[in-house]
Amino acid sequence: MSSRHVRTCSFVAGKVGARSRRSPSRLMRSPSTGGVEGPFSAHFHLVRTGRHPGGRLVEGLRMSWTGGSDDQHFAHLPVMAEEVVQLFASVPPGVIVDATVGGGGHASAILERWSNFELVGLDQDPAAVRAASAALAPFGSRARVVRARFDRLDAVLGDAGIGQISGALFDLGVSSPQLDRPERGFSFRTEAPLDMRMDPGQSLTAADIVNGSSERDLVRLLVANGEGRFAGRIVRAIVAARPIQTTAQLADIVRTAIPAATRRHGGHPARRVFQAIRIAVNDELTVLPVALDAAMDRLTPGGRCVVLSYHSGEDRIVKERFRLAATGGCICPPGLPCVCGATPTVRLLNRGSRKPTPAEVAANPRSESARLRAVERLPDVEAAE
């Protein structure tokens, strides 16, 4: 659904741009998702500004799916759900923002366990919005789902008259329902158009990147996302085969570009290539720091921001943003008192990242790559209104 200074790739380094179709030379600029829209099947009375009173890595997934073609089956197994729920146990009552609501799995678990929260769920995928709205409808006025990409978190909350929030949750990456529906074009395992858009309303697609990018930019994109060893070979094969229209075509081109001995190990060779293109299509690593900073700025003292990431680029960004907030950007030598005037705004709740339990990985292999990080707003710092 990834600024943690993986900005070695021009696709990752762009800004949020306009919705109009861009030329190949401007592919690093990502479209916005447009304005907030309905429909909502669950609404709540929004609290106003101020404090509220009293397996394996599988294509960068963030949750498992039980199948089915209708939106209400969008997602069923939220990753590390119990850990996420417990992290919000002690935060002040108020509003929690689920910035990547998906099928509403984490949101439902939070609202079921803790009665002192209301929740705003965001997602740019209209299928997820419909599914989450249906899943959260039983909570009535305590839940609301908005179609918006999470870098619009600040604007969505401002439009709703919400100032401080009690918590924020980010469950990053592509969801299993997006991956498992062939027509979305996310998977190398099925035949489909090269699409990979989380927001079907945006203009830029995977086909635009694969067929319209320069050889140099494609190499940089793959290297930035972990395909360093054979990036040149893969890109030369892609350029020679253009135009490429389907996921199966691209997967086969990547597979044949890799030496036969290497293909026998480490899973499908197209996995990292598809992941890199998906990240570029959706501008994931550029919008992530914007959203994280907005969420932390709005936390009430004692509020928490919780992030699940599934890709090293995402996790680096989360780690760096949290470290910057936890140190206030201090530049003093380690071990010496701070004299540079830095003011920390949060504290880290764990030194490193937490991982799913072996039992969860056995039950849901797609959770294996998950890494959880969390911070808590310091009590002596006022959250931004």
Checking if the pLDDT of 21 tops 70, the result is no
Interatomic CA distance for residues 184 and 322, integer angstroms: 33
Confidence at residue 228, expressed as pLDDT on a 0 to 100 scale: 74
Is the model's pLDDT at 354 over the cut of 80?
yes
Q: Which two tokens stand for residue 276?
A: 């890199």
Distance between CA 385 and CA 16 in Å, rounded?
24
Residue 259 confidence class, pLDDT cut points 50, 70, 90: confident
Report pLDDT for 260: 81
Higher pLDDT, 225 or 376: 376
Confidence of residue 50 (pLDDT cuts 50, 70, 90): very low
User: Residue 175 has what pLDDT?
Assistant: 79
Least confident of 26-35, 115-124, 203-212: 26-35
Does residue 13 surpass a pLDDT of 90? no
161-192 per-position pLDDT tens digit: 999 999 999 999 887 778 778 889 898 988 99
Q: 16 — alpha (psi -120 to 50), left (phi > 0) or beta?
A: beta
Q: Is the per-residue pLDDT at 12 higher than 80?
A: no
What per-residue confidence (pLDDT) applies to 51?
Answer: 33
Predicted TM-score (pTM) of the model is 0.80
Over residues 242-262, mean pLDDT: 92
pLDDT of residue 97: 98
DSSP secondary structure string, 116-181? Answer: TEEEEEEES-HHHHHHHHHHHGGGGGGEEEEE--GGGHHHHHHHTT---EEEEEEE-SB-HHHHH-
Distances (CA, A) of 29 to 16, 283, 344: 6, 8, 32
**What is the rounded CA–CA span in Å between residue 63 and residue 65?**
7
Tell me how far apart the alpha carbons of residues 248 and 190 are, in angstroms, rounded to a whole number. 6
Q: What is the mean pLDDT of the chain?
A: 82
The pLDDT tens digits for 125-139 are 999 999 999 999 999
Beta pairing class for 77-78 and 63-64? antiparallel
Q: Are 171 and 81 in contact (CB under 8 A)?
A: no
- Count Cα neighbours of 302 within 13 Å in the Cβ-side half-sphere: 11
Percentage of the chain exceeding pLDDT 70: 78
Predicted local distance difference test score (pLDDT) of residue 266: 63
Three-state SS for 305?
strand
**Residue 4 confidence (pLDDT):** 33
Tell me the C-alpha to C-alpha distance, in Å, between residue 284 and each of 109, 119, 134, 321: 26, 23, 26, 15
Higher pLDDT, 156 or 259: 156
Domains of the chain (ranges plus CATH)? 63-177+286-377 (3.40.50.150)
Residue bearing the bigger pLDDT, 59 or 234: 234
Query: Residue written as tokens 């799913």?
Result: 356
- According to the model, what pLDDT value does residue 385 have? 41
